[in-house]
Chains A and B, each alone.
Chain A
Amino acid sequence: MPESRRLSAGSAIGRLALIAAVVACAAAAFAYTGGWLSPERLTPDKLVDAFTPPGGAPPLGHRRNHAKGICFIGMFEANGAGSELSRAEVFARGQYPALGRFNLATTDPNAPDATVRVRGLGLMIRTPDGQEWRMAMIDPPFFPVATPQAFYELLLASASKDPNAMAAFASAHPEFAKFGAWAKSAPWTGSYAEERFNSLNSFILVDNSGAEHAVRWSLLPAAQPVGVAPEELAKRGPDFLEQEIAERIRGGPLRWTMLVTMANPGDPTADPSQPWPEDRRTVEVGTLIVQQIEAERDGPCRDINFDPAVLPSGIRTSDDPFPAARSSAYAKSYDRRTAEAADYPRTAPEASQ
């Protein structure tokens, strides 16, 4: 090294320390961004972990929630009325292939059907423009809590060994009482085909002019709901819902009307625990036609994450924080269950593709 460039020992040590400090700061910034310095941050791992109570075994290879279900294929028949609200091709008059899954809001893939209060429907509709609309709906008319953080706290409270945990949660989250009342009083039915499924979350439809419309949507069953006492359902066997829907479809396709409900200015779009008033404008946009029931195991919906943030152009998320939280947590659940594929009770090993 030429004489002119040589540093004194002290100066070199100072400069080395500066380099070390730059690297250390960069590493710390990365760690901060990744949440390792923020143990209070609600991460998708924590949210997904909360579905498995401490000491409990997660259902390896299965969805971490809504673990029990049965698949279907069919189509969505758009009547064209939705085109007024959204430029998405799925609302243009026509028939589009649909894939879905009736499911139960339980972490146990073997839970007896009569033990699960909340029923759901996951749906994926594909349109010829190559876009997809995925959604996951449930049958209560509103969500139990107002925020993802509150939902996490609900999971912790329900898994807690502290006998006062649920009471403490309920008093901190007054909106939860409404859900409790629904769970107690709403009639049970004996069939997925008699359930109304609701998006609960609000989304924004964007029309051809670029105007935006805050909406929620529901699938209204064509079948007349018949209330059945839960004690009666308990006698029907652990998988009666799956057996009933497979049996019912032999009589012909099953139908639900998709009803889009439009928010008035000021309606609580960010809070799915608050239903909108009954008088809001609704638009029937089409019909879900379930044509064929497919097995859950190795069925066509097993490999699909019904991520409610997978939306076509013309539908986007609103200020409702849940679709982002669900998307993040659903992806984590998918990552885990695919990594546990060896533990999934496949019926056809060669069908792993």
Chain B
Amino acid sequence: MNGSPRFTLLQRLLHWLMAICILAMLFIGVGMVSTVEPKYLVLVSVHKPLGMVILILALIRLVVRLRRHAPPLPVDLPEPLKLAAHLSHYALYALMIAMPLIGWGMLSSAAYPVKLWDGVYLPSILPQSDALHTALWNAHFYLAFLFYVVILMHVAAALFHAFIRRDGVFEAMGPALTRNEVAPAE
């Protein structure tokens, strides 16, 4: 790695950890609502605590992002692509934080206990309400597909930077360690 600016190690760790969590979450979600087999209960029991893990990581990540910022995009990147990059990042942060809250509210508004694991519950954050439950259910369902579409665009853009533009944007968040991270100062 040369001197092109990268996200900090903490930011990269958070990014890849959350990438795994969020992809797992979306696949668990779309899978669990399509089955009546015993795995339904297993998937639901993972979906809820994993959602809370994502919410907590997303809030930590937001703070880190506001303090550490992101490396600047290449100066020769066309303006529309820069705009798309910025908007997609706003969308991803909004979805990472909103989806767990919507799910939590959706369960609360249906008077379901919000069970994280055996004996551990989240408090209800909304009263039972048919209208709220329906609105939150629709939001949770359709935003999940939007989330996946935004992630696919994000992946396509990352690969476009990595394979075609080869401009260091992919490497800024890439999984490889820089030299001083591999061998800390002696």
A residues adjacent to B (C-beta < 8 A): 1, 5, 7, 12, 15-16, 18-20, 22-23, 26-27, 29-30, 33-35, 41-44, 47, 129-132, 148, 303-305, 307, 309-310, 312-313, 317, 319, 321, 323-325, 327-329, 334-335, 338-339, 341, 352-353
Asked if residues B41 and A19 are in contact (CB atoms below 8 Å), the reply is no
Asked if residues B119 and A131 are in contact (CB atoms below 8 Å), the reply is yes
Query: What's the Cα separation between A323 and B42 when bound, in Å?
Result: 12
Query: What's the Cα separation between A320 and B113 when bound, in Å?
Result: 22
What chain B residues lie within 8 Å of A42 (beta carbons)? 35-37
B83 located at the interface, meaning its Cβ lies under 8 Å from any Cβ of chain A in the complex: no
Using CB atoms, name the residue of chain B closest to A321: B38
Interface of B is mostly: helix
Per the 8 Å Cβ criterion, residues 141-175 of B in contact with A are 148, 152, 155-156, 159-160, 163-167
Q: Which listed segment binds A: B3-11, B56-64, B95-103, B128-136?
A: B128-136
A129 smallest CB distance to B (angstroms): 8
Asked if residues A310 and B113 are in contact (CB atoms below 8 Å), the reply is yes
Query: What's the Cα separation between A27 and B160 when bound, in Å?
Result: 18
A28 smallest CB distance to B (angstroms): 11
Q: List 9 A-B contacts (CB under 8 A).
A: A5-B167, A12-B164, A26-B152, A30-B148, A33-B34, A42-B37, A44-B35, A303-B111, A309-B41
Asked if residues B110 and A43 are in contact (CB atoms below 8 Å), the reply is no
Using CB atoms, name the residue of chain B closest to A149: B36
- Please pick, from A29, A310, A324, the residue contacting B36 in the complex, using a CB distance under 8 A: A324
Q: Given A15-B163, A323-B41, do A44 and B33 touch, yes or no (CB 8 Å)?
A: yes
Asked if residues B156 and A19 are in contact (CB atoms below 8 Å), the reply is yes
What chain A residues lie within 8 Å of B128 (beta carbons)? 303, 353
- Please pick, from A7, A23, A33, A327, the residue contacting B156 in the complex, using a CB distance under 8 A: A23
What chain B residues lie within 8 Å of A26 (beta carbons)? 152, 155
Using CB atoms, name the residue of chain B closest to A13: B164
Asked if residues A341 and B134 are in contact (CB atoms below 8 Å), the reply is yes
Q: Given A15-B163, A307-B112, A323-B41, do A43 and B34 touch, yes or no (CB 8 Å)?
A: yes
B117 smallest CB distance to A (angstroms): 9
What chain A residues lie within 8 Å of B166 (beta carbons)? 5
B71 located at the interface, meaning its Cβ lies under 8 Å from any Cβ of chain A in the complex: no
A274 smallest CB distance to B (angstroms): 18
Max chain B C-beta neighbours (<10 A), residue from A23, A43, A338: A338
Asked if residues B110 and A334 are in contact (CB atoms below 8 Å), the reply is yes
Ranked 10 nearest A-B pairs via Cβ: A35-B34, A313-B119, A341-B130, A325-B36, A34-B30, A338-B130, A15-B163, A339-B134, A328-B36, A324-B38
Query: 11 other contacts beyond A30-B27, A324-B36, with CB at 8 A cut-off?
Result: A22-B155, A23-B155, A42-B35, A303-B110, A303-B130, A305-B112, A324-B41, A327-B40, A338-B133, A341-B134, A352-B129
What chain B residues lie within 8 Å of A321 (beta carbons)? 37-38
B186 located at the interface, meaning its Cβ lies under 8 Å from any Cβ of chain A in the complex: no
Q: Given A131-B121, A303-B130, A327-B41, do A43 and B165 touch, yes or no (CB 8 Å)?
A: no
B56 smallest CB distance to A (angstroms): 21
Using CB atoms, name the residue of chain B closest to A312: B119
- Please pick, from B35, B133, B163, B167, the residue contacting A19 in the complex, using a CB distance under 8 A: B163
